[in-house]
């Protein structure tokens, strides 16, 4: 058996763009891995700035001399995100390493060739070594790690000569001291892949390698003196054949190098990712990696994988006896409830609320009185441990949720990408896809700079388009308005809250799925969780406009809470037909966590967000409380939420197993920045058992 360890990634320019995370932010979240402690730019190529996320050990000091590991994400050298290895980074940082996750140029974002990806990976390792003293890293203990295409890069930096970035100081080695490879692509020749994939590789893919496949294949280039490696590979992998891992291992050993192959019978591609198979393979591969690093004297003995998983539990896979509750549709009884709406419970009922939901009803009532004290219409629902423990309203029809609708559009876009990856559509799409490919041709023809805007930019308010946010009364005219917004800045450089870029996503969903956004959302998200169809207004023949995806959907408060509950359970839902994964845990974590790339972006003034620095706690059309500026210090930092004009909110607090929804109509609330912190502090103060 052979083993290789995760690669530590780094780059060239010493530009600090993220400061240590707030001391009040928890090290780990029940809904996912903790955020990186800082983000720096390791390389600049033209207008492209490549960030590297850095996870530090709890007791880290700049004067330390610690081993480091740099991770490269997978995605076929075409797309991907640094968040793929967030849990591995968090775990290894907890064990005493400096863990890094490096971004690199990919085809869908920068039309990069594979040789560019390799050059970026080498730059990342070199940058890590150059900045070792500043980062408290031992320059002679740097591991490269990655999965799939990222695994190829982690292997390439350790086995392939050349392909260095011009202008860099090559006296500083770009070669890691060890390699950790997760189902890596190790032989890029067409014949090394299954017949059904060979034609694809002989066509477009091979033309964008930038060099002969043989020269980019670690399985063919590994020679004496290569760093020790550990390889994790599923024997049933149909994307990258298991034979490639065997070939690489044999070549490494024949050259006198240490290489361990950890095989997984019956497992396919990506088996090691957090959230798969109840985290069994994630835990197993992490234990092997831990042991490999102990053997290299990079870690002290005493792996803590189980302790980590207990700290950050996964709801990714169904657990037969976990007792999780999921409400049937309202037409068939709906939420299990401990209260009657708008009525005070008896002393006996209050005791039952404390026992089953761990909440003080009188405290919740204080939150409702705070809402009602501002006048206007309001509706409040509180769900904890699956129990409806508080419900008040002074109207009884579905209410507009304003910009909370943006989060619904994010869910639709994410589901669209998941279905595309599963081969459900003729057109392929993911978050890194250029938006122009799915919009009317005139949109990109009017201004070619729009071709640089990816879905990811629209989902994170960083498209660079003029942040038009109204008026919306003439939705037909608005349909033309959103297609003509001017480019103000390159995408990924300026953060500007707006509806127009989000509204364009409705056209993207329509183009790929062949369905209106409203129909797609209701079929793919609402129906599977038993929610009534959500009402989206129309512009022209489309469901959209700021009365649509940007803001304006209408739904009942209980169903709004149902959406929050879906996210609390990381995309899982259960009913009489069994367990279904409406969205993958990885997708939910990506959408609802802060996007670290935003910290390097400039906050545009004026800004409809009206919270300077809001990019420091924004995700993918979701808000977070990571800095505790938005919801206040009384609300846990792992909270995330949908938010809309008039202080509409659907807030999920994973660490408290709680969902809180407030919707209503009172424009005056927008002039009260203290509203969310004051309201949520009353809700959180009601928790009597955590």
- Together in a domain, 301 and 427: no
Both tokens of 378, joined, read: 């309001």
Tell me whether residue 293 is in a domain: yes
Of 311, 342, 367, the one marking the end of a domain is 311
Both tokens of 108, joined, read: 């869908």
- Together in a domain, 38 and 153: yes
Among 576, 595, 675, residue whose Cα is nearest residue 635: 675
Confidence of residue 12 (pLDDT cuts 50, 70, 90): very low
Q: Is the pTM of this model over 0.75?
A: no
Whether the Cβ atoms of residue 22 and residue 627 lie closer than 8 Å to each other: yes
- Together in a domain, 439 and 305: no
Tell me whether residue 392 is in a domain: no
Confidence of residue 479 (pLDDT cuts 50, 70, 90): low
Residue 562 CB-density burial (10 A; 0-12 exposed, 13-18 middle, 19+ buried): buried
| Residue 316 pLDDT > 50 | no
pLDDT, tens digit (0-9, with 9 covering 90-100), for 29-75 = 223 567 899 999 999 999 899 999 999 999 899 999 999 999 999 98
Tell me whether residue 217 is in a domain: yes
- Cα separation of 566 and 547, whole Å? 24
Q: What is the reported pLDDT for 111?
A: 86
Whether the Cβ atoms of residue 10 and residue 102 lie closer than 8 Å to each other: yes
Tell me whether residue 484 is in a domain: yes
Helices (H), 50-131: 86-94, 107-110, 114-130
Whether the Cβ atoms of residue 183 and residue 270 lie closer than 8 Å to each other: yes
Look up the CATH number of the domain holding residue 630: 3.40.710.10
- Cα separation of 75 and 78, whole Å? 6
Q: DSSP assignment of 159-225, as one string?
A: H----PPTTS-TTS----SEEEEES-----SGGGS-HHHHHHIIIIIHHTSSS-GGGG-HHHH--TT
- Together in a domain, 134 and 263: yes
pLDDT, tens digit (0-9, with 9 covering 90-100), for 383-415 = 999 999 999 997 667 788 989 999 999 999 999
| Residue 647 pLDDT > 80 | yes
Tell me whether residue 629 is in a domain: yes
- Cα separation of 353 and 202, whole Å? 64
- Together in a domain, 271 and 135: yes
Tell me whether residue 364 is in a domain: no
Tell me whether residue 366 is in a domain: no
Of 286, 311, 336, the one marking the end of a domain is 311
- Together in a domain, 79 and 220: yes
Residue numbers of the domain that contains 207: 15-311
Q: What is the reported pLDDT for 128?
A: 98
Q: Is 462 helix (H, G, I), strand (E, B) or coil?
A: coil
> 574 Cβ partners below 8 Å, 6+ apart?
318, 324, 326, 580
Of 292, 311, 330, the one marking the end of a domain is 311
Strands 554-555 and 399-400: antiparallel
The chain-wide mean pLDDT, for the chain, equals 87
Tell me whether residue 28 is in a domain: yes
| Residue 475 pLDDT > 70 | no
- Together in a domain, 93 and 227: yes
- Together in a domain, 453 and 307: no
Other beta carbons less than 10 A from residue 246's beta carbon: 18
pLDDT, tens digit (0-9, with 9 covering 90-100), for 567-578 = 999 999 998 888
Q: What is the reported pLDDT for 328?
A: 93
pLDDT above 90: percentage of residues in the chain = 67
Look up the CATH number of the domain holding residue 116: 3.40.50.1820
What domain count does the chain have? 2
């Amino acid at each position: 058996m052979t083993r290789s360890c995760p690669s530590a990634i780094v780059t060239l320019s010493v530009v600090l763009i993220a400061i240590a995370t707030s001391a009040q932010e928890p090290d780990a979240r029940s809904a996912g891995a903790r955020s990186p402690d800082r983000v720096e730019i390791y390389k600049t190529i033209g207008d492209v700035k490549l960030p590297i996320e850095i996870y530090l050990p709890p007791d880290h000091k700049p004067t330390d001399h610690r081993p480091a590991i740099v991770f490269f994400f997978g995605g076929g050298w075409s797309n991907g995100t640094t968040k793929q290895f967030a849990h591995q980074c968090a775990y290894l940082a907890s064990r005493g390493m400096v863990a890094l996750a490096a971004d690199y140029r990919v085809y869908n974002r920068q039309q990069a060739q594979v040789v560019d990806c390799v050059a970026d990976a080498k730059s990342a390792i070199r940058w890590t070594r150059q900045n070792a003293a500043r980062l408290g890293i031992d320059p002679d203990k740097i591991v490269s790690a990655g999965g799939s295409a990222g695994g190829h890069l982690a292997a390439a930096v350790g086995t392939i000569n050349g392909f260095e970035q011009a202008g860099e100081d090559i006296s500083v080695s770009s070669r890691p001291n060890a390699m950790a490879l997760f189902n890596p692509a190790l032989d890029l020749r067409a014949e090394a892949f299954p017949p059904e994939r060979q034609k694809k590789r002989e066509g477009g893919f091979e033309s964008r390698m930038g060099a002969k496949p043989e020269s980019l294949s670690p399985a063919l280039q590994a020679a004496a003196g290569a760093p020790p490696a550990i390889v994790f590979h599923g024997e049933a992998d149909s994307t990258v054949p298991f034979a490639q891992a065997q070939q690489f291992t044999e070549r490494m050993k024949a050259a006198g190098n240490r290489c361990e192959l950890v095989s997984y019978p019956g497992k396919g591609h990506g088996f090691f990712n957090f959230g798969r198979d109840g985290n069994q393979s994630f835990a197993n591969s992490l234990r092997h990696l831990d042991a490999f690093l102990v053997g290299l004297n990079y870690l002290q003995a005493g792996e803590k994988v189980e302790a980590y998983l207990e700290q950050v539990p996964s709801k990714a896979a169904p657990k037969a006896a976990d007792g999780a509750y999921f409400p049937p549709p309202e037409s068939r009884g709906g939420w299990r409830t401990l209260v009657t709406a708008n009525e005070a419970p008896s002393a006996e009922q209050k005791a039952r609320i404390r026992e089953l939901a761990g909440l003080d009803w009188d405290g919740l009532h204080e939150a409702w009185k705070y809402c009602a004290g501002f006048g206007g219409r309001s509706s409040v629902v509180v769900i904890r441990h699956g129990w409806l423990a508080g419900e008040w309203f002074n109207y009884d029809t579905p209410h507009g949720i304003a910009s909370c609708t943006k989060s619904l559009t994010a869910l639709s876009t994410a589901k669209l990408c998941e279905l595309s990856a599963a081969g459900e559509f003729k057109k392929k799409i993911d978050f890194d896809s250029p938006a122009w490919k799915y919009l009317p041709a005139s949109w990109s023809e009017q201004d070619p700079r729009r071709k640089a805007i990816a879905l990811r930019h629209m989902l994170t308010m960083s498209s660079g388009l003029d942040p038009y946010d109204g008026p919306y009364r003439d939705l037909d005219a608005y349909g033309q308005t959103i297609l003509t917004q001017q480019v103000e800045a390159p995408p990924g450089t300026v953060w500007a809250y707006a509806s127009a870029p989000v509204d364009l996503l409705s056209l993207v969903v329509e183009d790929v799925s062949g369905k209106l956004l409203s129909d797609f959302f209701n079929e793919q998200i609402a129906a599977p969780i038993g929610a009534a169809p959500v009402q989206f207004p129309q512009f022209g023949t489309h469901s959209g406009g700021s009365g649509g995806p940007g803001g304006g959907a209408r739904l009942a408060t209980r169903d709004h809470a149902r959406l929050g509950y879906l996210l609390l359970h990381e995309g899982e839902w259960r009913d009489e037909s069994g367990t279904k994964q409406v969205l993958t845990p990885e997708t939910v974590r990506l959408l609802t966590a802060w996007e670290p790339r935003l910290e390097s972006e400039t906050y545009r003034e004026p800004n409809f967000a009206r919270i300077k620095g809001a990019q420091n706690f924004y995700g993918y059309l979701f808000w977070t409380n990571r800095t505790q500026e938005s919801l206040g210090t009384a609300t846990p930092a792992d909270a995330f939420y949908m938010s809309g004009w008039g202080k509409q909110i659907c807030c999920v607090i994973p660490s408290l197993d709680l969902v809180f929804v407030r919707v209503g109509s009172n424009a005056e609330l927008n002039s009260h920045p203290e509203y969310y912190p004051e309201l949520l502090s009353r809700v959180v103060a009601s928790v009597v058992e955590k």
